[in-house]
């Protein structure tokens, strides 16, 4: 095994770097820039059973050391993803992809996951119970331990692929949600999704985002995310994927020291389309400098 290899829920990864859902589309835009096969994997755009436009624009705003988004799960729907996006992805990505799934009812989560379960290209199901930008679904499943457990249970019934629950930071105690999904058989958890925020335009005196609120991401949230990864890694036995403001190879190592088995990179991909590639290329040098032989040995190493 190489220095960067890790294993995520039984599936080997060449490295722990995973572009996060919503910042990487279905891979195509980045495939035009670099060979996607250098990635550990990537988590594709949050997919729902039905096609969605998402929220009205403007749905992007600047924030101090970060950004707000209120995209609201725009996606072509799971059937089109399977019929068009996965075949197109197959022509240039030869690893298993992480399928990010969202929904508005327990049944919808299960139906979408059941369809993706049949796809050999899909390695993991990342079940997004934490989108802050949709109404009557999304985050409401991730802020109530009972609802989070119910989604987990329903999804586990329809798939044998590893199920990773993506958790919301917009809760009193994220470890409570993590334990609830673990108790229903979740194979892993990923965190954090974005933190709910807003901005007001001083000239128009109106919220910048048409949706009023949006999710905060970027370097601003890194310390918050790291703290939550630390807490969750101490509360559950299943693997934790750390994310939230990761921008550099050093950030990846910091997340892993807190207990992350793999690390997702989100907003930084939007600012720097080569961010994930650069992080992977810089990891060995940073590891040399820090005296790290291989990444597996540092998971939870600061605990």
Partner 1 sequence: MKQGIFTVLQNRPLTADVWEMRLGGDTDAITAPGQFVNITVPGLFLRRPISVCDCEEGELTLVYKVVGKGTDALSRLTEGEELDLLTGLGNGYDLMAAGENPLLLGGGVGVPPLYWLAKKLTNAGKQVSVVLGFNRREEVFCEEAFRALGAKVAVTTVDGSYGTRGFVTDALPRDYTSVYTCGPLPMLKAVYKATRGPAFFSFEERMGCGFGACMGCTQRTKEGYKRICKDGPVLRREEILWED
Interface ranges with partner 1 (CB under 8 A):
22-25, 28-30, 32-33, 45, 53-54, 57-67, 69, 71, 74, 218-219, 267, 269-274
Sign of CA dihedral 227, 235, 261, 95: negative
Tell me if 192 sits within 8 A of 221, measured CB to CB.
Answer: yes
CA atoms within 13 A on the CB side of 116: 35
Three-state helix/strand/coil letters over 128-186? ECCCCCCCCCHHHHCCCHHHHHHHHHHHHHHCCCCEEEECCCCCCCHHHHHHHHHHCCC
**CA–CA distance, 59 with 41 (Å, rounded to integer):** 27
Residue 131 appears among annotated catalytic residues: yes
Q: Which is nearer to partner 1, 49 or 277 (CB)?
A: 277
Please identify, using beta-carbon distances, which residue of 51 and 185 lies nearer to partner 1: 51
Q: Which is nearer to partner 1, 143 or 194 (CB)?
A: 194
User: Among residues 4, 131, 148, 164, which one is catalytic?
Assistant: 131
Given a contact cutoff of 8 angstroms between Cβ atoms, the answer to whether 264 and 190 are in contact is yes
Q: CB of 208: closest distance to partner 1 in angstroms?
A: 8
Q: Please say which residue, 59 or 95, places its beta carbon nearer to partner 1.
A: 59
- Give the shortest CB-153-to-partner 1 separation in angstroms: 31
Q: 66 with 220: CB under 8 angstroms?
A: yes
Residue-by-residue DSSP string for 81-101: IIIIIHHHHHTT--SPEEEEE
Comparison of 68 and 235: residue with beta carbon closer to partner 1: 68
Residue partners of 250: CB distance under 8 A and separation at least 6: 286
| Active centre residues (catalytic) | 131
């Amino acid at each position: 095994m190489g220095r960067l290899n890790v294993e995520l829920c039984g599936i080997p990864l060449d490295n722990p770097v995973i572009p996060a859902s919503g910042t990487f589309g279905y891979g195509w835009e980045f495939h035009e820039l670099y060979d996607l096969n250098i990635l550990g994997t990537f988590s594709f755009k949050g997919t729902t059973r039905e096609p969605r436009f998402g929220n009205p624009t403007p749905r992007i705003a600047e924030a101090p050391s970060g950004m707000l988004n209120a995209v609201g799960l725009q996606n072509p729907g799971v059937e089109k993803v399977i019929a068009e996006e996965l075949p197109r992805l197959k022509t240039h990505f030869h690893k298993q992809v992480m399928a990010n799934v969202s929904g508005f009812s327990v049944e919808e989560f299960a139906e979408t996951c059941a369809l993706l379960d049949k796809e050999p290209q899909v390695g993991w199901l990342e079940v997004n119970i934490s989108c802050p930008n949709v109404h009557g679904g999304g985050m409401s499943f991730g802020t109530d331990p009972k609802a989070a457990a119910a989604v987990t249970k329903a999804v586990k019934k329809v798939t044998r692929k590893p199920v990773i629950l993506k958790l919301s930071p917009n809760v009193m105690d994220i470890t409570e949600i993590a334990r609830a999904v673990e108790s229903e058989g979740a194979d892993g958890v990923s965190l954090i999704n974005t933190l709910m925020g807003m901005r007001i335009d001083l000239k128009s005196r109106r919220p910048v985002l048409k949706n009023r609120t949006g999710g905060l991401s970027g370097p601003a949230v890194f310390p918050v995310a790291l703290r939550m990864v630390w807490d969750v890694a101490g509360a559950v036995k299943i693997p934790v994927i750390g994310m939230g403001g990761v921008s550099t190879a050093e950030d990846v190592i910091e997340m892993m020291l807190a207990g992350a088995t793999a690390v997702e990179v989100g907003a930084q991909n939007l600012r720097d389309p080569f961010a994930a590639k650069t992080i992977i290329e810089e990891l060995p040098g940073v590891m040399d400098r820090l005296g790290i032989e291989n990444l597996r040995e540092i998971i939870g190493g600061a605990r």
